[in-house]
Amino acid sequence: MSHDQPTTSNAQTVYGRHLRQRRNAANLSADDLGVIGHCSGSLVYQIERGERRPAWSFTRAVDARFGGDGLLCDLHDLIDNENPIHPKWFGDLLRAEPRATRIRLFEPQALPGLLQTESYARALISGMRPVNASVDELVAGRMARQRLLSREVPPQLWALIDEAVLLRLLAMTPDVVKGQLSHLVALTERPHVVLQVLPMRVAIHAAMNGGFRMMTLPEGEVAYVESVSNGQLISEANAVSEVERRYDLAKTDALTPGETASHLRELLEKA
């Protein structure tokens, strides 16, 4: 089997060439690098040939192994910019989210993307049966968005989650359940993250129209709402105020952050 590089160049093939050069310089086999990047050696070869898009977890792991100079991370950013895996209408959120100093959101169906583990995201995305991008690409994109929570000065994140989301989580495979619950428990211990569960015993609440988020940007507050085939960033003051009002009302019906953390720990112990 030939491992020659393609003759055409784009960000993905340039990434692959640099990866192969660094691997050879370090006298590592593809299998060796696969262990470092938590994947198979055959996948390493595919990435080096530009045939497969690397996951962000892979890029961060191998960048650290090669000295942490950030070159592979920069090339990964170029891949994301050159070949966006999300629909164009999702771009408004992708551009606004990294600029937010505060993010408040309500999710009634699934855990917010910023809080998902890779295994949970993979199960969720696989169930949607995507046709315009591979599951691997979409998972990688979702994990990349979470980098903002690890910045030196991360945004304040306040997530209100319907208990139905947790019930659906508990119906997933044990490894996904334990991994995701462990991650949520760990997030409750971060000073910039607040989680609240809206219990099922609350029959009617102010946010029953669906999920939404609000973001504090340098230019002011905005809201974002999404449907299956469209997303809208809202900056009109009265509309943003109404979203915020519904969020505040729904939050009063939720478990406190402390109660939420205890509830998540209890679920984890039983998982």
- Please report, for the domain that includes residue 260, its CATH number: 3.30.870
Q: Residue 59: which of 75, 45, 73, 77 has the closest Cα?
A: 73
Domain that holds residue 124: 88-270
Could you tell me if 121 and 113 are in contact, meaning their C-beta atoms sit under 8 angstroms apart? Answer: yes
Q: What is the pLDDT of residue 254?
A: 97
Residue 3 covered by a domain: no
Alpha-carbon distance values, 171 to 105, 167, 197, 260 (Å): 24, 7, 18, 19
Boundary (domain end) residue, out of 36, 66, 82 = 82
Per the document, the length of the chain is 271
C-alpha 154/C-alpha 167 separation (Å) is 29
Q: What is the pLDDT of residue 84?
A: 60
C-alpha 36/C-alpha 24 separation (Å) is 15
Tell me: do 77 and 98 sit in the same domain.
no
* Tokens at 98, concatenated: 């990294």
* Tokens at 207, concatenated: 């946010």
Tell me: do 67 and 170 sit in the same domain.
no
Tell me: do 30 and 96 sit in the same domain.
no
* Tokens at 213, concatenated: 């988020």
C-alpha 179/C-alpha 8 separation (Å) is 40
Q: What is the pLDDT of residue 204?
A: 94
C-alpha 245/C-alpha 243 separation (Å) is 5
For 100, what's the count of Cα atoms within 13 Å in the CB-facing half-sphere?
27
Tell me: do 108 and 75 sit in the same domain.
no
Residue 111 CB contacts under 8 Å (≥ 6 apart), including other chains? 120, 161, 165, 169, 180, 184
Q: How many helices (H) and strands (E) does the chain have?
A: 12, 6
Partner residues linked to 160 by β-bridges? 106, 196
The gap from C-alpha 138 to its chain's centroid, in whole angstroms, comes to 9
Tell me: do 23 and 150 sit in the same domain.
no
Tell me: do 47 and 178 sit in the same domain.
no
Instruction: Please give the chain's pLDDT, 271 residues, in tens.
Output: 444 444 446 888 999 999 999 999 999 999 999 999 988 899 899 999 988 878 777 888 899 999 988 899 889 888 877 666 666 667 778 888 989 999 999 999 999 999 999 999 999 999 988 766 788 888 888 888 898 998 899 999 999 999 999 999 999 999 999 999 999 999 999 999 999 999 999 999 999 988 999 999 998 999 998 877 678 888 899 999 999 999 999 999 999 999 999 999 999 999 8
The gap from C-alpha 27 to its chain's centroid, in whole angstroms, comes to 33
Could you tell me if 197 and 129 are in contact, meaning their C-beta atoms sit under 8 angstroms apart? Answer: no
Give the count of domains, the chain.
2
Tell me: do 146 and 42 sit in the same domain.
no
Q: Is the pTM of this model over 0.75?
A: no
Q: What is the pLDDT of residue 2?
A: 42
What share of residues in the chain are helix, strand, coil (percent, to 5)? 55, 15, 30
Tell me: do 92 and 77 sit in the same domain.
no
